[in-house]
Each structure stands twice: as C-alpha cells, then as structure tokens.
Amino acid sequence: MKNGADTNPGTATAPFLTINQAAQIAQAGDEILVHQGVYREWVNPKFGGQSPAKMITYRVQPGEQVVIKGSEVIADWQLVEPGVWQATIQNVLFGQFNPFATKLAGDWLEQPQGRHIGAVYYNGRALYEASDYGEMLAGNAPAAPVDYITQKAVADPDADFRSHRWFAQVAQTETKLFINCHDLDPNQALVEVNVRQFCFYPTQKGLNYIRVSGFEMAQAATNWAPPTATQEGLLGVNWAKGWVIDHNDLHDAKCSAISLGSTPMAQENQFSKRHDKPGYQYQIETLFAAYKAGWDKAHIGSHHIHHNYIHDCGQAGIIGFLGGAFSEIADNHIANIGTRCEFGGWEIAGLKLHGPIDTIIRHNFIEHCTLGIWLDWQTQGTRLTQNVLSDNLRDLLSEVNHGPFLVDHNVFLSPVAIHEYAQGGAFVHNLITGSIAIQSVLNRTTPYHVPHSTAILGYACIYGGDDRYYNNIFAPRKGYEPTGTQMYNGSPQDMTAFIQAVTLRLPGDVELFETVRQPAYINGNAYFKGTLPYADEVLALVANTKTLGLKVQRSATAISLTLKVPAALVAFKVPQQSTATLGHVRLAGAAFDNPDGSPIVLNEDFFGEKTPGDQRLAGPFAHLKVGDNVLDLFDL
C-alpha cells in the first residue's frame, strides 16, 4: 500500500511517498516499483535511460493497482438551488495553472465552443460544461453529439449523463464551481476536478529510454494538440527516443492520452493567433524546425506502445507529429475518442499520426471513435496490419501521403472503411465492410523521403491513385453502402499506360499530370452484396447477390466475428503478394518493404498463421470453411 515519506532513501523498507520524488533521482538502469494507491501528482522525470538495455523503468508492483490522477477531490458542497451545488476552491490548489481559467485553443480547433480544459468528475464520470450559469441551472442536456468533420450523429456513451452540467466562476484568489446533479448528492459521492495538465510528462525534452508499465492514469487537463504545438498528453514523451508504454489504462484526458509529440517550439499555434498565412504553411515551418531539433532515426521516435487500454478522451488516444516515427503501436484497445463532441476540429482520432515513417501499427482494436486511424503527411514505410476497427464513424483516413504504405490483413467493420486523400497505398488481404472514397489534393504539396529515413527527397501534391488493391473481401454489413473498387475505373493498369497518356498530352509540364489519372493495380478481390469491381480487374470473384452473414459479437473477454462462408469463396484462390509483386510507388520510387529494407512476403494471415505455397484465400483469414465460421479477433 501507498506509504512512506519523500525524506526516506527510497528503499523497499523506507519508500518514498510520491512517484515524482523517485523520478528526480532515478538513473539509467534503475527500476521504480510503485505500490498500490491513488497518487495525485504530476510525475516529471529528471533523467532518462541510455539504451533499450539500460532504461529507467516505472512499474506497478505485480498484483497491485496504482492510479495517477491529474485531479483533486473536492468535498463540502453546498446546496444553493434545487439540484444545484456549489464548492469554493482556493486558487492556491491549482498553483500556476488553473484549468478553469484556461480555454481550449489551438490551430485547427475550429469549434471550441468556449470550453475550458478543466473538467468535473462525479464518481469517475465527466460532467458536461455549461456555457453560463443559466444553462447550468436549467440542467438540460446539450444537443445530441454531432461530429464536426462529417456532420454525422455520434453514439454517445454518456447519453444518460448529458444533463449533468458544471460551470465555473474564476476570481483572483478563488474559483467557484457549480454543478447541477439533479437528484444526486455530491456529498455522498466522489467528486474530483482537474488540477494538473499531466500525469506523467517530462518538461525536459529528449529524455530517452523510459518505460511506463501497469498504471492507471486519468483526469488530466490537456489542451488541444495540433502539429504546430508541442502536443500535450496525459502521458507524453516530449521529443525523445525509445520509450516503452505498456499495459496501462489511460482515460479521461481532456484532449489526448498518449503524446509522442511535436518538436518543442517557442511560438505555437501561430495560425490561430495571427491569421497571416495558412496553417499548412506554419506546419511546413514546424517540419523544418524539427530537423533543427534533431528529427532523425538516431534521436527521435522508435517507441513501443503496446497492450494499453486508452479510452474516453476528447481528441486522441495516441497523437504525434513526427515524434512517432520508427515506432511500433500494437495490441492496444482504443475506445470512445471524440464521442462527447464538446468541441470540434481537424485533429480528432483514436490514433492520429503525422510523419509515421516506418511505423508499424499492429493488432489494435479501435472502436466507437469519430475516426479510428488518421495518418496525415509523410506516411512512408508505414504498415497497418491485423487491426480491428468497429463502430467508428470512419475507420481509416490517409491524408496527403505519397506512400509506400501497406494496409494488410485488417478487419474494417464500420460504415465508412477508408477515406484516402493520398496516393501510393497497398490494400491487401483486408475484410472491408464499409464504403471507400478517394480524392485528389492539388492545393497542398507534402514531402516524401529517402526510404527508411527522415531525409526529404521531394515534395508533391496528391493526384490520387498509384494504389494497389489485392486479395481483399468487400462485404457490406446490413444497412451499409456497398462499394468496391469501381471508383478507380478509368485509371491505367500500369506505368506504361500512364506514361503513354502523359506523352500524348505533350508539350507541357506540371499541368499534364493534373489531367492524367495515376495507375491502379487491382486484382484478386472478392465482391459480395452489391459491391463492384474495377472494370479492368482480371481475377475477381463477383457474388453480388450473396452476403457473408457478418455478425460481430462481444463477450466479457473477446471480440469475435461470425461469417457464413459460401463455397465459391473457399474455392477462390489468389496469388501471394510480396515486395516483389507490389512494385514501387511512382513519386518516392520506394518499395513496400520492411523498416530494415528486407522484403515483405504476405504469407501470414490475421492470426499469424503461415500459408504454404503461392496461392491462398482472399481476405485476412487463411483458413475458412464452407458454412459458419466463428473467429476471435481481439482479447479484451
């Protein structure tokens, strides 16, 4: 149990009282064991490790539960009107930072709605902020949540709690909090309020090789995290290398839970403050600032984020501008991100990464988010494999990337599966039940790189295409819009045909490429229930009248999928794909290979089972039988 004193030597028999005290003296190779209890503190490490073999490890004592909270308990609530309670907090509790005096702000936060970064929690559930005292007093639920980008309704996990509101009045020495609990009594409950921005975050950048394992962390007042700011996270690495973040339960960050970060800057969010040039231009400048701050494989990234449960955050489960390069993000469960819709903008997703060069995103379960995975800028050498995405408004968005990026053996179960405002992707052996859309972006140029490096090779806009769709199953769930690969109709089948089309338009230069569609490489796909193939696809199974009887089931321990497989699908064999068959993307000239440059051979299915020979079934599962198949996809 939690006990000790910060004046102790920090031994097993005379422990420190706070984790942060240990964080001020721990050196490379040290392990900090934390005993059971609730730690209301900000852990701000002073030192980092030296290598993967000589890390500083923060670990929960096996069999015990440790919670780090960015909140404090507030008691002695006074009833001031029916259902309305007041508590007065002396501002010394907040120190130099009062989250109830600080409004959400930042680039691309286009719908802040006057919200603050503070929050109030009633028995662990976040109340909804009211715009003024009168709105709080009325105690009405805010409008049903609508996603800012898609303008679609969001299934709110807190629908029964939306009428429970709070409002703050901040003065020089005190903050008055008012909560409308209706028939609930806060003096009979645990009521907590945000006090700290972070739970575990070093203010000093570049502390490498730190492991954080086994904690619950919650209730941090993180601000909006765009790529043109440092990017705050409840747990963050602050522009470093080689962190391991595993087996944690991270939740209720106002904005983002894990931050892999952007380069620290003296001036942040300049677009929203100045409006003198586009945010895109400031992002380009931030990219060049990152090079000055050491953005390369030797110094930044290479993090391992695995087996975490990340949920109930306003902006992102995991976020990072450039700082997540060369990393592995695996076996995480991410849920309920952005679903409260208290504010809106362009950086909200379960997993939101810019510049994830050579990053592997493997076997994560992402559910009930407004957007599951958003890969934005410089997605090169990136691989998404064996992931399950379900009940999101959209599963995957790839924006202004040039590839190569590989999306293989995933299960897309949401109404919108893939939005690709990019080029150079390979989508192989996926189960796709939702719709697909592609779009060119001709008004923004973004970088592409020397393979497996942060070194810039060139810039280009997004023409759309240069994509590969091999060996996928398209099978819409009931009520979903059926789409296949027909949106690529009219695209040439190979580079020879593309070059011929450009040559016919000569003389000219840049403008020629805006009028010629890039090649599409599409073959070996299976189409069910109204989905349509690419017109020039040679090998395809088209079973438009058939369904796969898709059913997603959830138990206390697992997510499973039931399929009713027809004989035609079992008999439909497709060629094995590899680095050799996927070729090179047009602009970067790079291959679809492993981060170390070795070739990829797609001979393992969703479960990691190898298939012998050079023929296999379409879709992510190598071993299906005719009739009912029950497949366990993710252990909860």
End position of a domain, from candidates 194, 214, 232: 194
What's the pLDDT tens digit per position in 207-219?
999 999 999 999 9
Is residue 77 a part of any domain in this protein? yes
- 122: closest CA among 42, 179, 47, 55? 179
Mean pLDDT, the chain, as a whole number?
Answer: 96
Q: Which residues of 11-33 are buried (b: 16+ CB within 10 A; e: fewer)?
A: eeeebbbbbbbbbeebebebebe
Q: Give a yes or no: residue 266 inside a domain.
A: no
Give mean pLDDT, residues 376-384. Answer: 97
The answer to whether 29 and 54 have CB atoms below 8 angstroms apart is: yes
Instruction: Identify the pLDDT of residue 159.
Output: 84
CB 153 within 8 A of CB 159: no
String of DSSP letters for 330-381: ES-EEEEES-S-SSB-S--EEEEEE--TT-EEES-EEES-SEEEEEES---S
pLDDT for 277 equals 95
We report the CATH number of the domain holding residue 83 as 2.60.40.1180
Supply the range of the domain harboring residue 96: 71-194
15-24, 145-154, 157-166, range with the lowest pLDDT:
157-166
Q: Which two tokens stand for residue 215?
A: 């904690």
**26-80 pLDDT, tens digit each:** 999 999 999 999 999 999 999 999 999 999 999 999 999 999 999 999 999 999 9
Q: What are phi and psi of 272, to 5 degrees?
A: -70, -20
- Give the residue from 179, 194, 209 where a domain finishes: 194
Q: Look at residue 485 and tell me if it is in a domain.
A: yes
Q: How far apart are CA 88 and CA 491, in angstroms?
A: 65
Assess whether pLDDT exceeds 80 at residue 593.
yes
What is the predicted pLDDT for the residue at 296?
A: 97
Q: Tell me what pLDDT residue 545 has.
A: 77
- Phi/psi region, residue 572 (left: phi>0; alpha: psi -120 to 50; beta: rest), is beta
pLDDT of residue 264: 80
| Assigned domain for 480 exists | yes
CB 423 within 8 A of CB 585: yes
In DSSP terms, 616 is beta-bridged to: 574
pLDDT value for 544:
80
Distances (CA, A) of 595 to 35, 351, 406, 592: 38, 20, 12, 9
**Residue 469 within a domain:** yes
Question: What DSSP designation does 606 have?
Answer: T
User: Could you tell me the pLDDT band of residue 488, with boundaries at 50, 70 and 90?
Assistant: very high
Give the percent of the chain with pLDDT over 90. 95
Residue 597 lies in a domain: yes
Indicate whether 507 pLDDT > 90: yes
The answer to whether 539 and 523 have CB atoms below 8 angstroms apart is: yes
Question: Quick check: 492 and 517 in contact, CB under 8 A?
Answer: yes
Q: How many domains does the chain have?
A: 2
pLDDT band at 310 (very low <50, low <70, confident <90, very high): very high
DSSP letter (8 states) at residue 322: S
Any domain includes 517: yes
Average pLDDT of the segment spanning 134-140: 95
Task: Decide if 523 is inside a domain.
Answer: yes
Give 217's strand partners. Answer: 68, 250
**Last residue of some domain: 194, 227, 246?**
194
Using an 8 Å Cβ cutoff, are 541 and 531 in contact? Answer: no
